[in-house]
Amino acid sequence: MPGVFSEHVLCVSREDIFPDGAWHGFVDQGLDRAQDVIRHRSFFMPRAEVEEDPRYQQIIPYVVFRHGERYLLTRRLKASGEKRLHQQYSLGVGGHINPGDLENGDPIDDGMRREWAEEVEYQGHFQARLLGLINDDSAPVSKVHLGLVFLVDGDRPEIAIRETDKLEGELLALPDMRIFYLGMESWSQIVYDHLLTSR
């Protein structure tokens, strides 16, 4: 994976994705419009130039895995590349979309599938559906990113973390996950709240 100073990431302008002003939290309305903006008005920029520039939203597919009533909860270890998120728990697996993700024609779907395959090993049926979008201006990391939250309902529970020096994970039911809530990154808290209220 390229370093932060050489990596190019998919972005949209904040004005394009938030024409009526930015909202905060999780939304499940207007998803078709948002995807249309991302597919037709996005562009790649050096990550180093946009990492602290809120005029741009870096697009992050964020995949939540569920088997039955249990969800994959991971924890970022010290070897994780994003130092600002070390030791935090995450309900989603995801990352930036890069130029190579355009090879099959759809940056959203292809980027999501590539990031998933990089992070976890899963031999079961894979079908992801878009649950909603996350915007969170409360922290430096999340302020410059827009999350596309996908849900994968797995048909088997066997799932493994690929880079065990960077991540560890286990399947937990939402009530059992509650004790880790304060240690979750902000996006995961937002997703957790949504999953809890939509059951």
Average pLDDT for the chain: 90
Architecture of domain 8-197: Alpha-Beta Complex (3.90)
pLDDT bucket at 165, cuts 50 / 70 / 90: confident
- Is the pLDDT at 82 greater than 60, yes or no? no
Cβ neighbours around 137 below 10 Å, total: 13
Secondary element (H or E) of residue 160: strand 159-161
**Dist. CA 58–CA 95, nearest whole Å:** 10
The pLDDT tens digits of the residues spanning 55-64 come to 999 999 999 9
User: Where are the chain's structural domains?
Assistant: 8-197
